[in-house]
Amino acid sequence: MTAKIAFQGEPGAYSHEACVDARPDMEPLPCRAFEDVIAAVRDGRADLAMLPVENTTYGRVADIHRLLPQSGLRIIDEAFVRVHISLMANPGVSLDEIKRVRAHLVLLPQCESFLAARGIEGIPAADSAGAAAELAEAGLRDEGALASDLAAEIHGLDLLARHIEDHAHNTTRFLIMSPEPQMERRGDHGMMTTFVFQVRNIPAALYKAMGGFATNGVNMTKLESYMVGGKFTATQFYADIEGHPEDPPVQRALEELDYFTDMLDILGTYPRDPRRD
């Protein structure tokens, strides 16, 4: 039986593209919501989960930081997908025939220059890959969709213009998650460790908790806070650091962090992707 990797969205979504790129030997399994992706792995319908965690243009992906600690899964890899946006239409349709395009709300502003220059109206859709699927089913000739090249291939649409986004830096970072951690590996480009924690209710607790990373020379690439339990006083932190918990500097920094926290949960240790550079 072919191993499966679950993702959120319709076939052809950028999460689907991430699955094909990072795990080409696995069968992608589309899911309606992030919670469904996690559930698919926990109940055995999928072996791995592909979850977006942040985007260079829009920042943190909503709800992911809240879901990860509760998921019961562990991060085993990270993956980066450059978000290329293409205009697609039904077979035989020319670009001059397109009067409007549908796409997810976040994609439309990224193609504003292209659409404005051609007088094409952008209409928000719930999902870009879903808009491509609906376009193919409806057979419309005056409408197009903005989505990935993979969406056009899956739904039998013609690419009228490829990679029309205004900016060339839009990239999404994904986390590949498994029921079990893979702590024994060592990456050629170093390691990353991701964890969440809550500081103790004492003065300067966060400052003191972070001190161990500075004094031990451990590079922290991300630190974000968010509320938990609907309380302004219950703040949880999400962090990415470079290194492995068994590295002596990381080990010392985590020991110091543990002293100032009420909760510390390592979500995963995994190879550092060279595309970070």
Residue 75 main-chain phi, psi, to 5 deg: -75, 130
The answer to whether domain 4-83+170-178 and domain 86-161 are alike in fold is: yes
CATH number corresponding to 86-161: 3.40.190.10
Q: Which position has the token pair 């650091």?
A: 241
Q: What does the domain layout of the chain look like in residue ranges? A: 4-83+170-178, 86-161, 191-268
CATH number corresponding to 4-83+170-178: 3.40.190.10
Q: Quick check: 32 and 46 in contact, CB under 8 A?
A: no
The structure tokens listed for 275 are 């595309």
The pLDDT, as a whole number, for residue 190 is: 94
For the chain (277 residues), the mean pLDDT of every run of 10, in chain order, is: 94 96 97 96 98 88 86 97 96 97 93 96 95 96 97 97 91 96 90 94 85 96 82 79 97 94 94 91
The pLDDT, as a whole number, for residue 233 is: 62
Amino acid code (one letter) for 40:
A
- As to burial, measured by CB atoms within 10 angstroms (0-12 exposed, 13-18 middle, 19+ buried), residue 156 is exposed
Q: At what angle do helices 248-259 and 205-215 cross, to 10 degrees?
A: 170
The pLDDT, as a whole number, for residue 35 is: 96
The pLDDT, as a whole number, for residue 156 is: 97
- List all residues 6 or more positions away from 39 whose beta carbon is below 8 Å from its beta carbon: none
Residue numbers annotated as active site: 172, 174
Q: Quick check: 164 and 62 in contact, CB under 8 A?
A: no
The pLDDT, as a whole number, for residue 232 is: 66
Which element (helix H / strand E) includes 171? Answer: strand 171-178
**191-268: in CATH 1.10.3720.10:** no
